[in-house]
């Protein structure tokens, strides 16, 4: 499938800041499931810094915006050809050992409820167990935008019984780690939900590592594995670690952010 992306993030400050420094994971991952046709990232009044590929195989680009500045716009435009690999991250090069992702972070820490839920299934092979854990998350946390926030933990989302894709991913990661499966958070884009209805275009899911197969994506929010409707950007221990844009503004101003994302299917 050929997908086009138009992603705009606008930051505004209640008074001018001295400077802004950002780190981007906004370039699609390099693996067998997707090929970039064209891709452009622009930052208003920004100066591009160094680029490197980190140990997880993600491209990281630095930007600096000299002040005084009251607003910053980051715009991503591009086209990607995608292939359905049933969630398998085939051909992705990285140097970090999967066992690194057994480490717990605050958003993915399992409480008694998450640990108990994770142990309700007893599949003998890891692939079946991974699918079962994803299904448990889908059933335990209903998809409902606006009921959680950026700092909601997996335990809080489970207790609430509602959340968004970020909460589904955090809960699945927490439960996978309880069962000894390395798991990580993935950020990217989604063309549409499985039934064809519109969905949040900026999306997130989890990847679980199964020896012999490698990393496999699971999207509890849509009860499926990522296919050709998904564009993968980058990964991390949790949502903050895998954030497409991270930054610091110098000047003590109050920051507001507005994001618009459109993912469309293009003619081949």
Instruction: Kindly list the distances between the CA atom of residue 212 and the CA atoms of 80, 103, 215, in Å, as whole numbers in the listed order.
Output: 28, 21, 9
- pLDDT for the residue 201: 84
143 and 216 share a domain?
yes
45 and 108 share a domain?
no
- pLDDT for the residue 104: 95
Give the closest residue to 56 by CA, choosing from 97, 90, 18, 15.
97
94 and 163 share a domain?
yes
Half-sphere exposure of 102 (CA within 13 A, CB side): 8
Question: What tokens appear for 123 in the block?
Answer: 């599949």
* Residue 89 backbone phi and psi in degrees, to 5: -85, 75
Q: Which long-range contacts (CB under 8 A, 24 or more apart) does 147-152 make?
A: 150/239, 151/107, 152/107
Which CATH number do you get for residue 56?
Answer: 2.60.40.2250
62 and 13 share a domain?
yes
- pLDDT for the residue 252: 83
Q: What is the pLDDT along the chain (268 residues), one digit of tens a residue?
A: 999 999 999 999 999 999 999 999 999 999 999 999 999 999 999 999 999 999 999 999 999 999 899 999 999 999 999 999 999 999 999 999 999 999 999 999 999 999 999 999 987 799 999 999 999 999 999 999 999 999 999 999 999 999 999 999 999 999 999 999 999 999 999 997 555 554 668 999 999 999 999 999 999 999 999 999 999 999 999 999 999 999 999 988 899 999 999 999 987 5
254 and 157 share a domain?
no
- pLDDT for the residue 192: 76
Instruction: Kindly list the distances between the CA atom of residue 116 and the CA atoms of 55, 180, 208, 220, 265, in Å, as whole numbers in the listed order.
Output: 33, 14, 19, 18, 41
- Beta-bridge partner residues of 183: 208
231 and 105 share a domain?
yes
Which CATH number do you get for residue 165?
Answer: 3.10.620.30
- pLDDT for the residue 44: 96
Q: Which domain holds residue 32?
A: 2-80+245-265
Q: What is the pLDDT of residues 40-65, one digit of tens each?
A: 999 999 999 999 999 999 999 999 99
212 and 98 share a domain?
yes
How wide is the angle at C-alpha 22 spanned by C-alphas 18 and 27, nearest 5°?
Answer: 155
120 and 224 share a domain?
yes
54 and 181 share a domain?
no
The distance of Cα 44 from the centroid of its chain, to the nearest Å, equals 24
71 and 96 share a domain?
no
The answer to whether the bond into 68 is cis (omega within 30° of 0) is yes
- pLDDT for the residue 90: 97
* Residue 212 backbone phi and psi in degrees, to 5: 95, -30
Task: Give the number of domains in the chain.
Answer: 2
DSSP E strands: which ranges in 156-253? 162-163, 183-190, 202-210, 214-218, 230-236, 245-250
200 and 130 share a domain?
yes
DSSP annotation string for 84-149? --TTB-TT----S-GGGGG---GGG---HHHHHHHTT---SSHHHHHHHHHHHHHHHSEE-TTSS-
232 and 259 share a domain?
no
């Amino acid at each position: 499938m050929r997908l086009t992306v138009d992603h705009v993030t606008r930051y505004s400050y209640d008074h001018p800041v001295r400077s802004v420094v950002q780190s981007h994971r906004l370039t699609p991952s390099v693996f067998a499931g997707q090929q970039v046709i064209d891709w452009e990232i622009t930052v208003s009044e920004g100066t591009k810094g160094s680029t490197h590929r980190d140990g997880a195989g993600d491209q990281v680009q630095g930007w600096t915006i000299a002040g005084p500045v009251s607003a910053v716009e980051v715009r991503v435009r591009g086209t990607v050809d995608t292939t359905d690999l049933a969630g398998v991250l085939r051909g992705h090069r990285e140097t970090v050992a999967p066992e690194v992702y057994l480490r717990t972070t605050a958003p993915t820490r399992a409480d008694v409820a998450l640990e108990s839920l994770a142990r309700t299934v007893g599949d003998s092979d890891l692939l079946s167990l991974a699918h079962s854990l994803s299904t448990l998350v889908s059933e335990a946390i209903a998809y409902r935008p606006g009921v959680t926030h950026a700092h909601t933990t997996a335990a809080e989302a489970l207790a609430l019984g509602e959340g968004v894709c970020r909460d589904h991913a955090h809960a699945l990661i927490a439960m996978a780690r309880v069962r000894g499966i390395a798991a990580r958070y993935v950020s990217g884009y989604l063309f549409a939900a499985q039934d064809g209805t519109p969905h949040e275009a900026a999306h997130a899911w989890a990847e679980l590592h199964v020896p012999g197969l490698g990393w496999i994506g699971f999207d509890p929010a849509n009860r499926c594995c990522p296919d050709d409707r998904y564009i993968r950007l980058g990964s991390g221990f949790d949502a903050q670690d895998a954030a497409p844009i991270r930054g610091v503004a110098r000047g003590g101003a109050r920051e507001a952010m507005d994001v618009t994302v459109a993912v469309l299917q293009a003619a081949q």
